[in-house]
Amino acid sequence: MRYMLLIYGCEHPDPGTPEHAAKIAAVQSFTAQCAADGVLLAADRLHDTDTATTMRVRDGEALVTDGPFAETAEHLGGYYLLECRDLDEALGYAARCPMAAEGCIEVRPVVEAPMPPVSR
């Protein structure tokens, strides 16, 4: 089953600092371990929330707002998409994710629904 590990509330140390280098190394190590274990499907860091645009459609009218969906101190900063046997395995990976030590990791199963073919 696929699980999303949604990463919230992590700080971004200044590039060029020892803290930045250590964090990048820890994230790369965790990502490499997920890949080596054969569970990694995708992972990405998101740009900061000042780049976010939120779309809502109400009564057929598109409403575009600059900024994230919700005003909160903990913003979605990135994700991992993993293929795990069960929730316990997904939680085990979430616990080893370096960002769990400073922020939080929301673990959610992905609905396994058939998708129509995508043509571009």
d(CA 113, CA 120): 21
pLDDT 10s digits, 20-58? 899 999 999 999 999 999 999 999 998 887 888 888 899
pTM of the model: 0.82
pLDDT 10s digits, 87-114? 999 999 999 999 998 889 999 999 988 8
How many other CB atoms sit within 10 Å of the CB of residue 98? 19
Domains in the chain: ranges and CATH: 2-109 (3.30.70.1060)
Residue 63: per-residue pLDDT: 87
How many other CB atoms sit within 10 Å of the CB of residue 93? 22
